Each structure stands twice: as C-alpha cells, then as structure tokens.
Amino acid sequence: MLYTQKDYMKFALIVSDYEQKKYPQSKLSLHLLTTIFQHSLRQEINIFSCSKQQRENIITTAFDHNQYYESRVKKAKQVFLNQEYLNKLTSQVETELELCQKNNINFLEYESKDYPAPLQEIATPPVVLFYQGQLPSDAALQQSLAVVGSRDCEQYGQNIAHSAGRILSEHGWWNISGLAAGCDTNGHWGSLEANGLTGAVLAHGLAADIYPPENKDLAAEIISSGGFLLSEVAPSTSTAPHFFKWRDRLQSGLTKGIFVVETGRTGGTLHTTNYALRQGKQVYVWEPTTPSILPEEKIEGNLMLVGLKEPNDNFKIKSQQRLDKINSLSCPRELIDEFERLQQEELTFQF
C-alpha cells in the first residue's frame, strides 16, 4: 500500500478536526480531502512523506480550474503545507492507535482488499474506516437495508421500525442504521430479536462515549450478537453536528437501499434519503394508509416523498426526477412477519 496505517490515522484525524464555532466547520471538507487523497494515489506519491513542493503540486493538480479553484487550493494548502499542523497529527497518532488496541477497534484502509466495495462507489468514500465487531462481507451487504426515521417518532412509527428490523433479520437481511433514538433504535432492537443482523454507523469515534448515551446497552448488544459499529472519524472523537450528516451518506452507501419509517419535512432522515437517491439506491417510504392516525407534522416528510403533498420550497430534496424513483409502502396497523420474496434487483415487501 502507498500509505501506512499511521498515515491513514493522520487522514482520520484531519477528517475529525473542526473549528469550535456556533456552527462547527470541518478543517477540510470531505470532498476536498477525498479528492486530494485519490489524486495522490493516482500519482503514486505519499502526501505525508514527499517534499513540500510535491505536496503543493498534488494539491494544485487535484482540482479542475474553475471558479472555486483558488479557494479550494488555498484551504487545502493550509492543512497539508502547514508543517506544525502535520507534526501535531504525528504526535496524536500513537494515542489513537493505543485506543484502537484497548477498545478492539479495527482498521479498514481505502487501499485494503477488504474495504467495502459499495462505499468505493459513492462520491466521497471514507479514506479509512474503523469498526468493532463483525463487518459483513460485500456479498452480505447485497442483502441489506437501512431502517431510518425520526428520533422523536410516534409509537406507531416505533412499532413499524421494530417490525421492519425483525422482518429483515428473519429473512437474512442486514439492517444498517445509525443508533439514533426513535426509529433507528427500534429497528435495531427488532433485528436483534430475530437473527441479530444489524450494524450501526456512528457520528463519533468508537472509543468515545456512545451517543445517545441511553443506547450504550444497545451498542453492546449489537456487538455481542455478531453485528458491528462503524465510524470514519478517529477513535477519540466526540460528536459534532456535521458528523451526523456525514454518517447519513454511509448508511445509504453501505446498503442496497433505505426504508424511511417516519419523518417530518426537515431532519436527518431526509439527508439519508437524498444521499440514497443520489447514490442510485432503492428508497422505500412508509405511506400512511390513514394519515390522520398521526399528527401531520410527524409524517409531513413521508407525504411529500410519496407525492401525497406538494413539497415546499425549503424541502431538502429538490429534484422531481429523484422523487419519482421513490417506492411507497402502504402499511397496515401491524406488519405481517414475513416477506414473500426479497430479490437483489427489486425488493418486495409483502404485508
């Protein structure tokens, strides 16, 4: 490999670094970092061990000459040409590696043959992945969905998420979600009650405190049941708002598609939905057969996604072409505990 394990930890530390402001901003955006990293691979030059002039050339030639060219190059140079900052990264690496050993955290580098193939296909694949537990093979990921939805969901939505997670696991499908409160939590528990085929992508490092804290036991149960916890940030890194959005692209990126249980017209679930549509994934949205059973604000996103309500100007997903690709699922009060058939090309839920 061109990059060593310590080099990959440096990349993870850059991903994890952000300015502590009212609205935290990353040191370097994922797009910029991924572009520079992949360009260095094509050039077969390790950006951490080459000369300063070579680093500058890698950054300069990584971007097309367009209106954003100068600002992109300037921001990247502030990171990769700052020797004091690079020395700081080097001093942090050993601490992070020790945390990996202490907490049974494994590496998956972008250059590794075991790096998940589905993530290599997304727009900004993680440079390095950290995981605990058993990560599914590429073949197993061909049978996976992400059961997602609002944190503050109604009991009705909780029941649907729980049933969906259980049904997936009973039929040998993975439920890969985000360990968030609400729909995610209920989906995970549903999968655990069946065959335990569930994993979580976290918005913090795997050696940091579990967020939300009330899901600490859930995280432990996922690991002990043969599942996994996954993150792209350095092990010691605590949560930050933008990490949740980054996490959303990995939930959809790893899976064949997503099942949206309950969402308002704003929120993180729509980030995941938008990523899934951009990535060409299957998108299933629960279509309430009796909308009045829940407050409209709780399912306003569902109604807009399936075409029962006109999206407003502030709706996260602007493209009607993408909205047209969404599959609606009309659920009764309870989900029947079986699928008629699950196919790799087109998933079918039987109620």
pLDDT tens digits, one per residue of 47-103 = 999 999 999 999 999 987 666 678 888 999 999 999 999 999 999 999 999 999 999
Count of C-beta atoms within a 10 Å radius of residue 266: 13
Q: Is 70 exceeded by the pLDDT of residue 338? A: no
- The token pair that represents 195 in the structure block: 């065959």
Residue 131, pLDDT > 80, answer yes
> Residue 350 — very low, low, confident or very high, per pLDDT cuts 50/70/90?
very low
Q: In this structure, what token pair is assigned to residue 50?
A: 């080459």
Are 44 and 34 a contacting pair, CB within 8 Å?
no
pLDDT band per the 50, 70, 90 thresholds, residue 178: very high
Evaluate if residue 336 carries a pLDDT over 70.
no
Calculate what percentage of the chain has a pLDDT beyond 70. Answer: 92
Nearest alpha carbon to residue 110 among 122, 98, 99, 102: 122
Q: Rounded to whole angstroms, how far apart are CA atoms 329 and 163? A: 14
pLDDT number for residue 334? 32
Tokens of residue 48, six digits:
């951490």
Mean pLDDT of 231-243: 96
Q: Is the peptide bond before 288 cis (omega within 30 degrees of 0)?
A: no
126-135, 154-163, 340-349, range with greatest mean pLDDT: 126-135
* CATH, range 133-348: 3.40.50.450
Q: What is the pLDDT of residues 190-201, one digit of tens each?
A: 999 999 999 999
Spans of all domains in the chain: 5-102, 133-348
Q: What percent of the chain has pLDDT over 90?
A: 71
Taking the C-alpha atoms of residue 10 and residue 48, their distance in angstroms, rounded to an integer, is 9
Distance from C-alpha of 174 to C-alpha of 143, rounded to nearest angstrom: 6
Please give the pLDDT value at position 67. Answer: 64
Q: Residue type at 271? A: H
Q: Is residue 344's pLDDT more than 50? A: no
* Chain segment 271-312, per-residue pLDDT in tens: 999 999 999 999 999 887 766 677 888 889 998 998 888 888
Please tell me the distance from the alpha carbon of residue 206 to that of residue 148, in angstroms, as a whole number: 21
Asked if 270 and 241 count as a contact pair (C-beta separation under 8 A), the reply is: no
Over the chain, what is the mean pLDDT? 90
Two tokens, residue 322: 């993408």
Residue 24: partners with Cβ closer than 8 Å, 6 or more residues away: 18, 240, 241, 242
**Cα 89 from Cα 71, distance rounded (Å):** 23
> Environment class of residue 291 by beta-carbon count within 10 Å: exposed (0-12), middle (13-18) or buried (19+)?
middle
